[in-house]
Chain A
Amino acid sequence: MFNWIKKGRIYTPENYPDRPNWMLEFAQAPFTLELEDRVRVYFGCRPPRDSNGQYVTYTAYIDLDKNDLYNVIDISKEPVLSLGEKGTFDEFGTYPFSVIREKNEIRAYYAGWTRCDSVPFNVGVGMAKSTDGGKRFTRVGNGPVLPYTAHEPFTISGPKIKRFNDTYYLFYIAGKKWILSNGRPEISHKIRMATSNDGINWNKINQDIVPNGWDENEAQASPDVTYANGKYHMFFCGWVPSSFRDKPNRKIGYAYSTDLVHWTRADELVGIHTSETGWDSEMIAYPHVFQLNGKTYLLYIGNEVGRYGFGLAELNGELK
């Protein structure tokens, strides 16, 4: 079992009373970019609900001092990416956000949100680029980079971009069926994968790649893959929809693979759970692993799906 040492919260919205309105609430789905002197952590945030009770979502960042990850040295002044134009797939939200360095630019793959009539939303994966080191991004196009297809019909979300062996890998989640639960449309997602040589044209493998571990109807999210010691390690989160209304018990799962296609579920190794009390006592979710100065860290969100921010854990030992 991995031995994760919880180090406490890194970002708590309430600790920034002067934060702008667009990042007033939540801090979800952290994802890091290592820069020269800092680690930039992108995360999703929201202004208050509008007059119709609807949220939009943006992506913000905080910069952590590389030599002291508890020292926040900068915070984004504006959303890293604007919302999409009228009628586009990302008109009402641009998160979760993941990035990768490509020559002189930073590329982002993010989830875009639109609003539908019969179901609350649809989600698609967009692509954007930054030429200022990841502060501001512009869209590569106004449509999604990963299309809806016959077997991934809608709600394609939570993209995480990686590159292994000169190939781009996009891990994401996709829904297959909206189900009416007490008259409300609800959706469950599974982890999927696509590969690409150029980051633009993607080949979907069209499989649910991670076996169920909690329940056959479990929802999976935030597939975060790291290579270490001859294996690919995936931390992700999930929940069981039938229990979700009563008790929103998201938790973190683990799987490993040697070929990125066939994954062995091994939650018993995950080594991180909810705390007895405090900000992460009800749930832990949206894991993101990064390595720095020879150490392995995990960022994750806590209660109420990140309403109270995200925290850090450090691995005692190695991923293997």
Chain B
Amino acid sequence: MKWKKLGRIFNVAEHQLPGECIGFSQSPQALVLDDRVRFYVTMREMDSNNKFKGQIAYVDFDLALTSVIKVSEHFPIQLGGLGTFDEHGIFPMNVLRHNDKILGFTSGLSRRKSVSLETSIGLATSDDNGETFTKYGIGPVLSSSLHEPFLVCDAFVLHENDEFLMWYIYGLRWIDKAEADGTESRVYKIAFAKSKDAIHWEHTSELIIPDVIGENECQALPTVCKIGNRYHMYFCYRDAIGFRNVKGKGYRLGYAYSDDLVNWVRDDENGGLPLSEDGWDSEMMCYPHLFKVADQVYIAYNGNAFGKDGFGIAKLESV
């Protein structure tokens, strides 16, 4: 895969942000409209306990992806009420046009006592081109289950042959602080689910992407694009321990391909998106999202510091 990096196209510091947001624009997820490309991102607000909450906002670009038309002045989807799965943040929201609606697949966060958080996947719909979303119920559509005990999130959904296909992640284990140099750690991996109605999902809990850095490899934010007869997946991965401050342990982009949606070949070296020598994506690349404008394939992603300062894109030049 040969990509041309187009740099950081959105710098949070240059814009007025909705609500009480203090920055960040994590995990850009594209919705292509007639005259613009809308990126849903997660920005951060601080709550009264000085803990942050992820809020969904959008950033509109022109179709050439060179200039910002608008940053949303509102939150297109509201956080959940007391005790709900998405009470303390949504990060991210994947969007998919389906018939005359936009479907939003949210990763909702709620805080826990013994560990920092739990996550589940919710469904919301928009009838107004993604300005506002209404939730389907106040609970999730995919959450922890017998063999996926926690941290179900990061949905990426396509619709093919009358079926919704979802790639997502779930948690395998929490690692005690003592075993993880003083920081809470967890291990999570990519899995796959299918549905006829986007509400009831069938899944086998099988881990579909082989590890390259061992059993503590954390895989997140799968995104898939079909080119010809082949499915191409990007995701980000890192070591469970030391990723915040040990150089080389932070998120990088992984790559895998499949011709049958069952067997995936891990092939990071041919993914074509290594860290840059210097600059905004030199220490970390994370939260990738594949999308097409006309027939051109792009990937949006975050760079250093988990998307604190904005997001960038790269353009696919050849396969």
Mark A residues whose CB is within 8 Å of B. 85-89, 91-92, 114-119, 122, 124, 127, 140-145, 147-155, 176-180, 185, 187, 200
Contact = CB atoms under 8 A, between A and B. Distances in A.
15 contacts: A87-B118, A88-B150, A117-B113, A118-B82, A118-B83, A119-B83, A142-B147, A143-B146, A145-B145, A148-B139, A150-B136, A153-B85, A153-B140, A177-B81, A178-B81
B144 A144 contact: yes
Contacts of B176: 86
Contacts of B146: 127, 140-145, 200
Nearest to B138: A153
Given A85-B173, A86-B115, A150-B199, A118 B137 contact: no
A156 to B, nearest CB: 10
Nearest to A84: B149
Contacts, number: 126
B148 A143 contact: yes
B98 interface: no
Interface secondary structure of A, over-half rule? loop
Given A86-B176, A118-B82, A178-B82, A150 B141 contact: yes
Contacts of A179: 82
Contacts of A155: 83
Contacts of A88: 149-150
A124 B139 CA distance: 13
Given A117-B112, A179-B82, 16 more contacts: A85-B173, A87-B171, A89-B144, A114-B114, A116-B110, A116-B112, A122-B83, A143-B149, A143-B150, A144-B145, A147-B145, A148-B120, A149-B141, A150-B138, A177-B81, A200-B146
Interface in B113-150: 113-115, 118, 120, 122-123, 136-150
Contacts of B84: 153-154
B81 A124 contact: no
Interface string B41-59: 0000000000000000000
Given A116-B112, A148-B140, A154-B84, A87 B123 contact: no
B87 interface: yes
A143 B83 contact: no
A200 B145 CA distance: 10
The 10 closest A-B pairs by CB, nearest first: A150-B137, A153-B139, A141-B146, A117-B111, A115-B113, A143-B149, A178-B83, A87-B174, A142-B149, A119-B83
B186 interface: yes
A6 B117 CA distance: 47
Contacts of B85: 148, 153-154
Contacts of A144: 144-146
A124 B145 CA distance: 10
Contact of A117 (B81, B88, B122, B143): B88
A143 B112 contact: no
Interface of B: 81-85, 87-88, 110-115, 118, 120, 122-123, 136-151, 171, 173-174, 176, 186, 199
Contacts of B139: 148-154
A187 B83 CA distance: 10
B273 to A, nearest CB: 32
A176 B80 CA distance: 13
A77 to B, nearest CB: 27
Given A116-B83, A154-B83, A147 B143 contact: yes
Contacts of A124: 144
Given A89-B144, A147-B144, A150-B137, A117 B150 contact: no
B46 to A, nearest CB: 15
A40 to B, nearest CB: 25
A86 B110 CA distance: 16
A148 B82 contact: no
A151 B135 CA distance: 11
A185 B145 contact: no
Given A127-B146, A143-B145, A150-B137, A116 B113 contact: yes
Nearest to B151: A87
A200 B205 CA distance: 14
Contact of A143 (B82, B87, B147, B173): B147
Contacts of A141: 145-147, 149
A154 B80 CA distance: 12
B49 to A, nearest CB: 9
Contacts of B88: 117-118
